[in-house]
């Protein structure tokens, strides 16, 4: 797997690298969409464990969460793992 530096610099944020190291010593807030799926559930467990000390908060978004919260979560997080998707649609048009 290729590891590249993913950074974003907002005027009110500290610049972070892909590992979540931060100049001011604070941790990352991570959003996981599809948090109740197989991969999402395991990722949330891992990010919430002591194995990822750079992650201080995990925001879990799935289909049972109010859709209005997605914009709020996305605006307040430092990194997004987008794992949401339809894998068993009732209608092929859902793909």
Per-residue pLDDT tens for 66-92?
A: 999 999 999 999 999 999 987 777 887
| pLDDT value at 46 more than 80 | yes
Any bridge partners for residue 30, and if so which?
A: 58, 79
Contacts of 13 (CB under 8 A, 6+ apart): 78
pTM across the whole model: 0.68
| pLDDT value at 1 more than 60 | no
Distance CA 92, CA 13 (A): 41
Any bridge partners for residue 59, and if so which?
A: 31
């Amino acid at each position: 797997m290729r590891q590249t530096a993913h950074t974003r610099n907002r005027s009110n944020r500290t610049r972070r690298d892909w590992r979540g190291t931060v100049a001011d010593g604070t941790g990352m807030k991570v959003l996981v969409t599809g948090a109740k799926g197989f991969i999402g559930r395991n990722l949330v467990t891992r990010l919430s464990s002591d194995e990822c000390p750079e992650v201080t908060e995990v925001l879990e978004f799935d289909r049972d969460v109010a859709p209005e919260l997605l914009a709020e979560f996305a605006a307040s997080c430092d990194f997004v793992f987008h794992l949401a998707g339809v894998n068993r649609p009732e209608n092929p048009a859902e793909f």
